[in-house]
Chain A
Amino acid sequence: MRSDRLEALARILVRYSTAVRPGDVCVIDAPAHCSEFVLAVSREILRAGGHPVTRIELDGAVELFAREASEETLDWIDPGSEVVTEQADVRIVLDAEWNSRALATADPARLARRSRARSHLTKRFLERGASGELRWVVVGYPTLSAAQDAGLSLHDYEELLAATCLLDDPDPVARWEAFAVELQRAATFLATVDELHFLAEGTDLRLRVGGRSWVPCSGRENFPDGEVFTGPVESSVEGTIAFSFPAVYRAREVTGARLRFVGGEVVEATATSGQEFLRAMIAQDEGARRVGEIAFGLNESLTEFSRSTLLDEKIGGTMHLALGASYPETGGLNESALHWDMVCDLRCGGEVWADGRVVYRDGRFLPGVLK
């Protein structure tokens, strides 16, 4: 990444997203090939008086583990992960890989076993995040792998990301704060709604959100950002949803995924490709077949699908649904080792009804709905 942008990104993450304070233990998770990012962020953390701690992923380490670990070792949790989960004040997690398909041929049952063994860490992570003990952010970054998945050159992918993150702006933090006000308007409206009804091609899904909190996301836990989300009432989800974009999880792509819900649980899961993987992930634990999150993507600077969930779930005019763990700050109660966001495009003919009244059409809230 261009050095001025890298510095701007590091400043936003440390001063705005995670607001590092003196003495904070700041854990940075990143692959080794993004060392320039690690160094830029570490420098900002030092300047803020924090203590950078790096967890550098080596090229090939994850697939080595997936390939060679015994069953007992798959269940093993390294002591450092427990310490990070309990003691980090800040976590900055880079969403970057050498090869997004490195685990494409790994046994899904082994991957599921691994994530099940780690589910208590995920749960604590989310709890500490919800209570404010932990500030965390997942960060998109221009890598060759991500560019290739988006069908772009590295240069063009960096331009896309820089524009979305507002890195070339003289005061990106002010722009993100302004965006936060806009997102809050959507959250304020949605907080008045009990039942949501999504209609789109192949989709007819009803769920209840009354009593749950909608969270506006303006660059604090994801960067870039731009969505409002909540956890629906677990047993309320009924109907069918067809995902127009491929559903990407752990390097696997599932296309044409359709889920049918009865009483809040997936009773039928089909896909044109990757169906077996989809079913294996849903079967991994109790909570994996329930919905942990429902959200509207509201970032208008993102328009095209890029095969990066972090970006795609924010595309203005989309909604997404996550199977698995809910975020405790929404009031959601679902627990799972899984959290799989799947994105549905509402820009062409999609409608959302709120308590029997149409409030959203073709990817936008209707005029007058958001105050």
Chain B
Amino acid sequence: MTDQRIERLGELIVGYSLGLRAGETVRIDVPVVATPLGLAIAQAALRVGARPILAAKLPELEELLLREGSDEQLGWTSPIAACELAEVDAAVTIWAETNTRSRSRLDPRREQLRTVALGRLAAPLRARLGSGEARWCGVLYPTHAHAQEAELSYREYADLLLAACHVDGPDPAAHWRGVAVALAARAEALAPVRELRILADGTDLTLSVAGRSWIAADGRQNLPDGEVFTSPLETSARGEVAFSFPVAFGGHELDGVRLRFDEGRVVHAEARVGQQHLQAMLATDAGASLLGEVAFGLNPELDRPLRHIGLDEKIGGTMHLALGRGFAQAGGSNLSAIHTDLVLDTRAGAEVLADGEAIFRDGRFLHDVSAGGAA
């Protein structure tokens, strides 16, 4: 039976996030557990005359390949997926895990081979996203596994997640259009900044964002959403950063991550949990030890870590950095098969300086930029 919120989420993605039009093609990457959302998106797409491709995934199959495939098989990707990714006007990724630890014992070398192959598969689509030829949206779907990770019941988790997507009420798109205006104003205010210095417990990191564009993440590319982000100058990061929240992905957990940067590159990395995985990740390719993103989380509905990076990076008042691939549309040029976000809790005892002047303290920007407020 359908949950009306899921139907609204499908309509929000098709109407607001992607703005699909008649005759356009959309590929929906849907783990089988997220079937209701996959169908809701497909239904909304069909109703505007668009053409949905439901690319359903069995997570066990990818695990099987990682466990038993030869190097050649791990490096191979489907020509069907390649053709679809090259042709579609839009793509949706539904994130819905059924066991967040299913990859905990996998050989990191084999996993890396696979990551590189999948990165190569997605490269043409990424290029088309960068040039604006195609659109993409990633959406999180509630599962028992995610709820378990967040230490909540499934229902509590689903309620929280769907509230953060604002699909409780009848017109979610109106809410997100409002968010878009507010975040665009914030991005505009950050545009002239050349250098950012982030100060927090264990953190004193300086990076240059001169000439880069700040992008408002307003529910078009992620749901839930709410952040402003850019890609820092690749060789600019220097100093130390201590990340606050644990992250779990692909069967691995990272916690207590501390990184030291010099000339943009990680020169020292340690983690209280997941040290080995962190090192393997950094060794994926040349771009994996450079920053691809710096961002402010600005979704007020998200107020506590739920151990899912797609949510935690949006917690209002936090900041995050990503190792790996940068955003072409922000001016970023770093290339990597990885893009790993790590969150910094800047809600207490933290300050951000822009070209030497304080702009953000304890989770809040010091100047209101919303309509009618001071610039």
B58 and A58 contacting across the interface, CB-CB below 8 Å: no
Q: Which of A1-60 contact B (CB under 8 A)?
A: 25, 27, 32, 35, 38-39, 42-43, 46-47, 49, 51-60
Given contacts A43-B68, A59-B35, contact A83 B49 (CB under 8 A): no
Residues of B within 8 A of A47 (CB): 68
Given contacts A46-B65, A64-B43, contact A70 B49 (CB under 8 A): yes
* From B43, B61, B70, contact of A68 by CB (8 A): B43
A54 and B61 contacting across the interface, CB-CB below 8 Å: yes
Q: A73-B49, A73-B50, A79-B87 are in contact. List 13 more A-B contacts (CB 8 A).
A: A27-B80, A32-B56, A38-B61, A46-B68, A47-B68, A49-B73, A52-B65, A54-B61, A56-B58, A61-B54, A64-B43, A68-B46, A80-B84
| Residues of B in contact with A (beta carbons under 8 Å apart) | 22-23, 25, 30, 32, 35, 38-39, 42-43, 46-47, 49-51, 53-58, 60-61, 64-65, 68-70, 73, 76, 78-81, 83-84, 87-88
A32 and B79 contacting across the interface, CB-CB below 8 Å: no
Which of B32, B35, B70, B80 has most A Cβ within 10 Å?
B80
Closest 8 CB pairs of A and B: A56-B56, A68-B46, A80-B80, A32-B32, A83-B83, A53-B78, A79-B87, A58-B35
Minimum CB–CB distance for B215 against chain A, Å: 30
B35 and A42 contacting across the interface, CB-CB below 8 Å: no
B58 and A32 contacting across the interface, CB-CB below 8 Å: yes
> Does A72 belong to the interface (CB within 8 Å)?
yes
* From B30, B43, B46, B79, contact of A25 by CB (8 A): B79
Residues of A within 8 A of B38 (CB): 58, 61
Q: Which of A73-119 contact B (CB under 8 A)?
A: 73, 76, 78-80, 82-84, 87
B43 and A73 contacting across the interface, CB-CB below 8 Å: no
Q: How far apart are the CA atoms of A54 and B47 in the complex, in Å?
A: 27
B64 and A35 contacting across the interface, CB-CB below 8 Å: no
Minimum CB–CB distance for B236 against chain A, Å: 41
Q: How far apart are the CA atoms of A78 and B61 in the complex, in Å?
A: 23
Residues of B within 8 A of A82 (CB): 83
Residue of B nearest to A69 (CB): B46
Residue contacts A-B, CB under 8 angstroms, 18 given: A35-B58, A38-B58, A42-B64, A42-B65, A43-B64, A52-B65, A56-B56, A56-B57, A57-B56, A58-B54, A61-B38, A68-B43, A72-B22, A73-B46, A78-B84, A79-B25, A79-B83, A84-B80
Minimum CB–CB distance for B352 against chain A, Å: 45
Residues of B within 8 A of A78 (CB): 25, 51, 53, 84
> Does A65 belong to the interface (CB within 8 Å)?
yes
Residues of A within 8 A of B57 (CB): 56
Residue of B nearest to A84 (CB): B80
Minimum CB–CB distance for B55 against chain A, Å: 8
Which of A27, A58, A72 has most B Cβ within 10 Å?
A58
| Residues of A in contact with B (beta carbons under 8 Å apart) | 25, 27, 32, 35, 38-39, 42-43, 46-47, 49, 51-61, 64-65, 68-70, 72-73, 76, 78-80, 82-84, 87
Q: How far apart are the CA atoms of A68 and B46 in the complex, in Å?
A: 6
Residues of B within 8 A of A39 (CB): 58, 60-61, 64
Residues of A within 8 A of B79 (CB): 25, 83, 87
Minimum CB–CB distance for A247 against chain B, Å: 30
Residues of B within 8 A of A56 (CB): 32, 56-58
Q: How far apart are the CA atoms of A80 and B87 in the complex, in Å?
A: 10
Residue of A nearest to B78 (CB): A53
* From A25, A53, A54, A73, contact of B58 by CB (8 A): A54
Q: How far apart are the CA atoms of A55 and B84 in the complex, in Å?
A: 13
Residues of B within 8 A of A65 (CB): 42, 46
Q: How far apart are the CA atoms of A25 and B267 in the complex, in Å?
A: 43
Q: How far apart are the CA atoms of A54 and B88 in the complex, in Å?
A: 19
B58 and A76 contacting across the interface, CB-CB below 8 Å: no
Residues of B within 8 A of A68 (CB): 43, 46-47
Q: How far apart are the CA atoms of A133 and B73 in the complex, in Å?
A: 22
Q: How far apart are the CA atoms of A291 and B22 in the complex, in Å?
A: 39
Q: How far apart are the CA atoms of A8 and B83 in the complex, in Å?
A: 34
Q: How far apart are the CA atoms of A56 and B81 in the complex, in Å?
A: 13
Q: How far apart are the CA atoms of A65 and B38 in the complex, in Å?
A: 13
B61 and A58 contacting across the interface, CB-CB below 8 Å: no
A32 and B80 contacting across the interface, CB-CB below 8 Å: no
Residues of A within 8 A of B76 (CB): 51
Minimum CB–CB distance for B180 against chain A, Å: 29
Minimum CB–CB distance for B41 against chain A, Å: 11
Residue of A nearest to B82 (CB): A83
Residues of A within 8 A of B78 (CB): 25, 51, 53
Residue of B nearest to A23 (CB): B72
Minimum CB–CB distance for A356 against chain B, Å: 52
Minimum CB–CB distance for B84 against chain A, Å: 5
* From B30, B47, B51, B73, contact of A51 by CB (8 A): B73
Q: How far apart are the CA atoms of A252 and B312 in the complex, in Å?
A: 50
* From A43, A52, A73, contact of B51 by CB (8 A): A73
Q: How far apart are the CA atoms of A312 and B81 in the complex, in Å?
A: 36
Q: How far apart are the CA atoms of A128 and B53 in the complex, in Å?
A: 25
